[in-house]
């Protein structure tokens, strides 16, 4: 098997989509682990690093060479990121996941939308249960006489 050969030679099907989704998650997880080794990152950012490659991979599958759709999607994603109130990375990735699922449905890929949503939600739920060193919260109480 040629390492650099395209796996989508015969077109997209459920098996190739799931394979590429799992590889995207694995690559994101590798980046997240590498980022958290020497720096303290939040669980929210850790989750974002894992799920964002999955969302981007699904978006690229949806536009599949259509320049007009690619520009429209880039504009929509940039509006979400830069026009919204600064929030936690988990909130932003949730918006990206919802937009990607909507894009898949709008493109007619209902099966991919469902599979993508199930995989993304499973990752979010699994990562939410991981304890991270940067997740420690403290409460400050002030008493005014």
pLDDT tens-digit readout, 10-38: 667 778 888 888 888 888 888 888 777 77
Q: Is residue 65 part of a domain?
A: yes
Q: Is residue 4 part of a domain?
A: no
pTM over the 0.75 mark: no
Q: Is residue 28 part of a domain?
A: yes
Structural domain total, the chain: 1
Contact indicator for 127, 30 with CB cutoff of 8 Å = no
Q: Is residue 106 part of a domain?
A: yes
Across 62-81, average pLDDT: 72
Q: Is residue 23 part of a domain?
A: yes
CA distances from residue 139 to 42, 44, 65 in whole angstroms, order as listed: 18, 20, 51
Contact indicator for 50, 30 with CB cutoff of 8 Å = no
Q: Is residue 143 part of a domain?
A: no
- For the cut 70, the answer to whether the pLDDT of residue 6 exceeds it is no
Q: What is the DSSP letter of 85?
A: P
Among residues 57, 72, 145, 62, which one has the least CA distance to residue 106?
A: 62
Q: How far apart are CA 76 and CA 83, in angstroms?
A: 10
Look-up of token digits 């509006």 = 79
Burial of 31 (0-12, 13-18, 19+ CB in 10 A): middle
- pLDDT given for residue 24 in this prediction: 86
Q: Which domain holds residue 23?
A: 16-131
Q: Is residue 7 part of a domain?
A: no
Q: How far apart are CA 133 and CA 129, in angstroms?
A: 13
- pLDDT given for residue 68 in this prediction: 78
| Chain center to CA of 13 | 21
Q: Is residue 10 part of a domain?
A: no
């Amino acid at each position: 098997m040629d390492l650099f050969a395209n796996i989508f030679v015969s077109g997209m099907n459920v098996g190739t989509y799931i394979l590429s989704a799992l590889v995207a998650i694995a690559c994101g997880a590798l980046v997240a682990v590498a980022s958290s080794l020497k720096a303290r990152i939040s669980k929210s950012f850790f989750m974002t690093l894992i799920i964002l490659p999955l969302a981007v991979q699904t978006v690229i599958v949806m536009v599949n060479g259509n320049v007009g759709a690619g520009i429209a999607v880039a504009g929509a994603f940039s509006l979400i990121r830069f026009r919204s109130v600064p929030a936690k990375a988990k909130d932003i990735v949730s918006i990206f996941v919802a937009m990607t699922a909507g894009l898949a449905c709008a493109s007619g890929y209902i099966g991919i939308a469902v599979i993508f949503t199930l995989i993304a939600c499973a990752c979010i739920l699994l990562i939410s249960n991981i304890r991270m060193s940067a997740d420690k919260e403290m409460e400050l109480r002030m008493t005014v006489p």
